[in-house]
Amino acid sequence: MSSSSVCRSCGQDGLVDILSLGHTPLANALLTAEQTERPQPIYPLDLVFCPSCTLVQITETVPPELLFREYLYFSSFADTVLQNAKQIVERLIESRHLGGDSLAMEIASNDGYLLQFYHQHGIPVLGIEPATNIARVAQDRGIRSLCEFFGEALARQLRERGERADVLHANNVLAHVADLNGVVAGIDLVLKDGGVAVIEAPYVKDLIDHVEFDTIYHEHLCYFSLTALDALFRRHQLLITDVERIPIHGGSLRVFVAKGGEQSPQVARLLREEAAWGVGHAVFYQNFGAHVERLRADLLALLNRLKAQGQRIAVYGASAKGSTLLNYFGIGRELLDYVVDRSTVKQGLYTPGTHLPIYAPERLLEDMPDYVLLLSWNFADEILGQQAEYMGRGGHFIIPIPELRVV
């Protein structure tokens, strides 16, 4: 474990404190029944701001081998993620005229959730996925995958053997890497001269505006503005040529990166907007902590009131977001009965820190708790649609973010 006082992107010191979430367990470190009897490691979780390049980041670095070699998040369990992937792949195939002599590459390719759509069109693919259990699933689905961490050294090896990408995807991975500059240098090495890298990352403006503090956990080292991304890529002679704001994961940026060209009017406009709302000034971020504390008080008051009335409360979503919220807010078995989650690899385990048992979603209809706290709120529409029968029988969902409401 290591804690840094210098920026992960530009290397400057003088980082400014934004919010401390105390010491928490690793958000995806789900437990067996036997493991709940033993103390679980906890780590500092402190959010800071770099005045030099505007990057918002946490200070602690947990070794990636500990976080990612065995991983329990499978992208294919989320229909919204699959739909988002299919749409961008079909767009790129058409706009870039990709075919059998092209190569589509993805960093942190998970279970092949995205590359499968290129594969179905006969376009060669290469996934790079460090989690051995997940890479194996992708390979079994016919998605050529390397079980490695991506960085400059691996990129050099790929380039030397002629593996260069016409299109390279990096969805929700840039925030996870300690060596930001090494990964971006690697992207430069494996991207063809006329190729494009398509990178998605949660947008720091949405995190602040919507009090999405639960996206802060040890896997998420960085929280990006377009300004911070622009500085990072320019450092490696790469250019953000276009940008889109997309709703996935509570609000994300999708940037298109190339070795040259011009920036679109959309890039220039969003950079101006960020300057106007204060992307480079710590004061914009420092009210965040007060908003988190207000949400904490409101949610605890609601749950305690329902419990005092004899209502039974379950949870939907054994998510990393949920782990941050429950552990920081101090909500556990005294208020909540259990968790349900669609991911079969999580069922039968227990939540980190709070030790709530995890079941399949069918448990809600079998048991009919009065309320369900929806911790996978970023998939609220999808989940509420799946749980129409539970709600039709009189069940209610509590959605804590972006604003506390009961449906």
Q: What is the CATH number of the domain that holds 139?
A: 3.40.50.150
Are 279 and 301 part of one and the same domain? no
| Residue 159 covered by a domain | yes
| Residue 175 covered by a domain | yes
* Contact status, residue 267 vs residue 243, Cβ threshold 8 Å: yes
DSSP β-ladder status, 339-340 and 358-359: parallel
Are 268 and 346 part of one and the same domain? no
Are 166 and 282 part of one and the same domain? yes
Are 104 and 205 part of one and the same domain? yes
Are 145 and 198 part of one and the same domain? yes
pLDDT recorded at residue 63: 80
Are 175 and 272 part of one and the same domain? yes
At 145, list the tokens.
């995958």
Are 277 and 295 part of one and the same domain? no
**Rounded to whole angstroms, how far apart are CA atoms 158 and 186?**
10
CATH code, 396: 3.40.50.720
| Residue 364 covered by a domain | yes
| pLDDT category of residue 69 using cuts at 50, 70 and 90 | low
Length of the chain: 407
Are 281 and 305 part of one and the same domain? no
pLDDT (tens digit per residue) in 239-276: 999 999 998 878 999 999 999 899 999 999 999 999 99
Are 245 and 269 part of one and the same domain? yes
- Structural domain ending residue among the three candidates 236, 261, 286: 286
Phi-psi region of 388 (alpha: psi -120 to 50; beta: other; left: phi over 0): alpha
pTM exceeds cut of 0.75: yes
Are 351 and 221 part of one and the same domain? no
State the number of CA atoms in the 13 A half-sphere of 72 facing the CB: 23
pLDDT recorded at residue 74: 66
User: Residue 367 — φ and ψ, nearest 5°?
Assistant: -105, -30
* Contact status, residue 103 vs residue 121, Cβ threshold 8 Å: no
| 46 beta partners | 20
pLDDT (tens digit per residue) in 168-186: 999 989 999 989 999 999 9
Are 129 and 251 part of one and the same domain? yes
**Residue span of the structural domain in which 304 resides:** 288-406
| Residue 395 covered by a domain | yes
- Structural domain ending residue among the three candidates 286, 316, 342: 286
| Residue 301 covered by a domain | yes
pLDDT (tens digit per residue) in 288-308: 989 999 999 999 999 999 999
